[in-house]
């Protein structure tokens, strides 16, 4: 959701403006994968090579005024190193990753430092790994005994265009993620019912002006729906270093201290949502959005945010790195109808050079320009707002409930 400034505090990301990344890749064995060019001034790579399926070492240095930062590596759109630490003070980093097996062609490896210093280099897969031929047996040798080959598993079929299709963008799409909430409990293989930065504590909080703790018990599944609720408490509750008098709910496909359940780079994300009842009063703040799995901020894509005191409007925003640290693009769309009085579909088509927002299948806003080239997750949250533009009232009725019937992601 907008103004997620606690990302920086959570990860102590204090990166100087204009910081640069330099580095080299050192291979452990002869070439099938070769660096042929560097495509960003932030990263310098030597022309080294490595074998698909074997380990490559990446090292480098970040300069600038910073205390601590984290970095991660992406091969094409695949996260190959979840995170590595850059040494505070020296700025040196060292990590390793396995070169994915791939057909010949161009590939990119992306090094990201703190979400701000992003660098790319182009790789080329020049050949596949070949084995050394076995010597021909001597004519006098007895014929070798044939060893039955083990049964090979059937390869997993790629996603197909059958099944649900995006409500809005045209073209060929493959369904990559789908939860229609048909169970009796939230699918722990797809979601964490807590903030990504919560560590080992289920309760967590946010620094965006919300007045609630996030409690996993506020996220439930049943009767084909996900329900995220907010409640006023009878006594103050401590969480995440602050004390709040409300509880809200959060669900996320990633957690910074645990394996990522689902992430993606580019595609169309969509959810069908019934907002909480606006008649219950101001201060109710649901959202459907996407953040990085590394904890870096920006970027952030807000598919939709809604305020109960402006029930006809949907807030659609993109937060991205810029010279001042973080900038924002987007709009607030007035639909002319109370969005809490029915079900609506909200989606974003995330392409390399554009973001297009859809509501009920209709494009309502497009951002044109560079977009994130890093793995991002899916997030749904319901908060109690303490900001002046949607300040909760003592008369606001609780509990408030945000309902979701499905969440999906497609890719080309």
Task: Find out whether 380 and 404 touch, Cβ atoms under 8 Å.
Answer: yes
CA distance to 18, 63, 273, per residue, from 41 (Å) = 11, 13, 42
Q: Distance (Å, rounded) from C-alpha 233 to C-alpha 212?
A: 9
Asked whether the predicted pLDDT for residue 70 surpasses 80, the reply is no
pLDDT band for position 13 (cuts 50, 70, 90): very low
Q: Mapping DSSP to helix (H, G, I), strand (E, B) and coil, where does residue 135 land?
A: coil
Mean pLDDT lowest for which of 64-78, 267-281, 398-412? 64-78
> What's the confidence (pLDDT) of residue 199?
85
Per-residue pLDDT averaged across 316-342, rounded? 93
> What's the confidence (pLDDT) of residue 52?
52
Task: Find out whether 288 and 304 touch, Cβ atoms under 8 Å.
Answer: yes
Q: Distance (Å, rounded) from C-alpha 75 to C-alpha 52?
A: 12
> What's the confidence (pLDDT) of residue 100?
58
More confident residue, 89 or 226: 226
pLDDT, one tens digit per residue, over 77-115 is 555 554 455 444 445 555 665 565 554 555 666 655 444
3-state helix, strand, coil in the chain (%, to 5): 5, 45, 50
Task: Find out whether 173 and 161 touch, Cβ atoms under 8 Å.
Answer: yes
pLDDT band for position 338 (cuts 50, 70, 90): very high
Task: Find out whether 371 and 144 touch, Cβ atoms under 8 Å.
Answer: no
Domains of the chain with bracketed CATH: 6-125 (2.60.40), 174-411 (2.60.120.200)
Asked whether the predicted pLDDT for residue 19 surpasses 70, the reply is no
Query: Model pTM?
Result: 0.66
Asked whether the predicted pLDDT for residue 320 surpasses 80, the reply is yes
Residue 266 neighbours by CB distance under 10 Å: 15
Percent of the chain with pLDDT over 90: 55
> What's the confidence (pLDDT) of residue 325?
82
Per-residue pLDDT averaged across 66-85, rounded? 50
């Amino acid at each position: 959701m907008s103004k997620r400034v606690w990302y920086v505090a959570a990860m102590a990301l204090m990166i100087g403006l204009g910081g640069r990344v330099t580095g080299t890749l050192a291979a452990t064995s002869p070439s099938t994968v070769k660096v042929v060019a560097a495509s960003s001034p932030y990263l310098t790579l030597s022309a080294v090579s490595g074998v698909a399926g074997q380990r490559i070492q990446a090292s480098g240095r970040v300069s600038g005024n910073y205390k601590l930062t984290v970095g991660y590596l992406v091969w094409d759109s695949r996260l190959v190193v979840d995170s590595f630490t850059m040494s505070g003070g020296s700025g040196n980093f060292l990590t390793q990753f396995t070169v994915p097996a791939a057909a010949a062609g161009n590939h990119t490896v992306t090094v990201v430092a703190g979400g701000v210093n992003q660098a790319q280099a182009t790789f080329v897969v020049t050949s596949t790994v070949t084995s050394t031929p076995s010597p021909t047996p001597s004519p006098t040798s007895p014929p070798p005994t044939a060893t039955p080959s083990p049964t090979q598993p059937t390869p997993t079929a790629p996603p197909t265009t059958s099944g649900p299709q995006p409500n809005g963008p045209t073209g060929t799409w493959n369904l990559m993620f789908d939860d229609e909430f048909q169970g009796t409990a939230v699918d722990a293989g797809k979601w964490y019912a807590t903030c990504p930065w919560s560590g080992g504590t289920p309760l967590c909080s946010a620094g965006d002006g919300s007045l609630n703790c996030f409690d996993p018990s506020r996220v439930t599944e049943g009767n084909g729906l996900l329900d995220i609720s907010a409640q006023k408490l009878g006594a103050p509750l401590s969480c995440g270093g602050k004390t709040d008098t409300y509880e809200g709910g959060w669900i996320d496909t990633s957690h910074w201290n645990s394996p990522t359940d689902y992430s993606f780079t580019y595609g169309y994300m969509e959810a069908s949502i019934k907002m909480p009842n606006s008649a219950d009063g101001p201060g109710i703040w649901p959202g459907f959005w996407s953040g990085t799995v590394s904890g870096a901020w920006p970027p952030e894509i807000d598919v939709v945010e809604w305020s109960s005191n402006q029930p006809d409007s949907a807030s659609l925003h993109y937060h991205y790195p810029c010279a001042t640290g973080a900038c924002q693009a987007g709009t607030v769309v007035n639909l002319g109808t109370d969005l809490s009085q029915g079900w609506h579909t909200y989606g974003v088509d995330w392409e390399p050079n554009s973001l297009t927002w859809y509501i009920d299948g209709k494009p309502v806003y497009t951002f044109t320009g560079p977009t994130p080239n890093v793995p991002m997750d899916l997030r749904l949250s319901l908060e109690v707002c303490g900001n002046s533009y949607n300040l909760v009232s003592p008369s606001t009725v609780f509990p408030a409930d945000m309902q979701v019937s499905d969440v999906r992601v497609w890719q080309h």
